[in-house]
Amino acid sequence: MADRFRLERIAYIDWISVVLLWLGVLGLAAAGTGAEESMAGRRAWRSGDEGRALVVAFAAAVIALAASASCAAGGGRREGAGGAGAAAGQGGAMSFDGGTGAGDANPLDPDAACASARDEATWVPVNMYIMFDKSNSMLDQGKWAASTAALQSFFSEQASAGLRVALRFFPDSGCDGSCTVQACATPMVPLGELTVEYAPTDQQENALINAFGQVIPSGATPMSAALQGATSWAVHYLQSHPTEKAVVVLVTDGEPTDCNTKSSYIVGLAADAYSAHGVLTFAVGLEGSSEALMNDIAKAGGTSKGIFVGSPDAEQELLAAMNAIRESSVACEFLMPDPGPGKQIEPDLVNVIYKSGPDGPPQIIGQVPSAGGCGPAGGWYYDDPVKPTRIIFCEGTCAAVRADPNAKIEILLGCATIPA
């Protein structure tokens, strides 16, 4: 595929090449004249001024030719400090293929006259409701101790900073055999954002960690009420925060014993929340859970399949599962920028710019029509092409951006959208 990304300074470099080349030619000519004049009397001119002029001229010519050849060979594309490997998460800056299309002579200048606004992109906030089973069977085989340690580690990890988490145990405080959905929809630890600080400075982390120390496993498994309460919380949250994202994480070690125990009903709760409101439901099954039910809940909730923990190293497995859920939940989704009072954004006049750090060269990420249009070159697409509220990166582009700790994403308004 032809390169579609070109450096803004190509024309500048070409002019330098031409100037240096002409200086080299003129220098060679001057040196040659001096040589002819002195040939009759001496051969030592090579160590004199004329000789030095010849060397300098020759060097200038070589530099000019090398610069010109480099531009021609590279087509104006720069891979960045990390080369192509950086896009695969190997570190360093990365390069995208976004551009105006094969054969275009100039890239989009982020400071072009067509640009009406340029702002740093705002990530879509992720709000996680963890519904955690504390039934009596969690005391078996050390499951409660292992799961408690895993969740506490998850809350403390630096990678969890920025994640918003709410926590509810079941059966507990009305979210039990009474099947009170409203009680299940009320978190025991209200929603709050984890920070880069550690507990107790991070008050949300501190509250989540302490919550596990304040309960003792007991009771049965009112799974339907628990899941209905969790999805209900997520749906209501999105109704008042439509530009954000809400996910449910159901962690259990058993099969439903109280309330509605029909698998079809429980699976339907996850399906309704996902299809009507976009709420993702992750199903984590500890030893003793129904693999078929967990898989069905996850599939209906838009997360493909259940995650199972059952080895002697349950603590690390559960921590890995929670980390995987966090990574898949915190996808590369960005809010559409605010154009200002009385203004509207034209969807076909939006461009996405990637920079590695504040001083990195801007690179255009091209647009694809939809998620189905994502290919090896990556790109981005709208959640709704007609009335977009989010900009979503293709999986490969997202992985590359998240692999760069210095990544900075900007949204440029006013210039025709560049395709991938």
pLDDT of res. 107: 58
Q: Is the pLDDT of residue 365 over 90?
A: yes
Q: Specify which residues 192 forms β-bridges with.
A: 165
pLDDT of res. 337: 87
Of 287, 315, 286, 311, the residue nearest 148 (C-alpha): 315
Task: Indicate the class that CATH gives domain 124-329.
Answer: alpha beta
- Of residues 403 and 320, more confidence is placed in 320
Q: Specify which residues 367 forms β-bridges with.
A: 380, 419
pLDDT of res. 159: 85
Q: Is the pLDDT of residue 247 over 90?
A: yes
The β-bridge relationship of strands 126-133 and 245-252 is: parallel
Confidence of residue 111 (pLDDT cuts 50, 70, 90): low
pLDDT of res. 6: 33
CA–CA gap between residue 103 and residue 249 (Å, rounded): 48
Contacts of 161 (CB under 8 A, 6+ apart): 194, 195, 196
Task: Match 């203004």 to its residue by tokens.
Answer: 343
CA–CA gap between residue 266 and residue 243 (Å, rounded): 27
Question: What is the C-alpha radius of gyration for the chain, rounded to an integer number of angstroms?
Answer: 30
Report the Cα–Cα distance between both ends of the chain, in Å, rounded: 11
Q: Is the pLDDT of residue 65 over 50?
A: no
How far apart, in Å, are the Cα atoms of 110 and each of 13, 106, 410, 411? 19, 12, 10, 10
Contacts of 149 (CB under 8 A, 6+ apart): 315
Q: What mean pLDDT is predicted for residues 142-147? A: 92
SS3 56: helix
Phi then psi for residue 168, to 5 deg, are: -140, 135
Q: Check if the beta carbon of residue 75 is closer than 8 Å to that of residue 3.
A: yes
Residue 409 has a CB neighbour count (10 Å cut-off) of 19
Q: Is the pLDDT of residue 45 over 70?
A: no
Lowest mean pLDDT among 22-26, 109-113, 326-330: 22-26
Q: What is the DSSP letter of 223?
A: H
Q: Is the pLDDT of residue 9 over 50?
A: no
Confidence of residue 109 (pLDDT cuts 50, 70, 90): low
Q: Is the pLDDT of residue 218 over 60?
A: yes
162-212 pLDDT, tens digit each? 899 999 999 998 999 999 999 999 999 999 999 988 889 999 999 999 999
366-402 pLDDT, tens digit each? 999 999 999 998 999 999 999 998 899 998 898 888 8
**% of the chain at pLDDT higher than 70:** 73
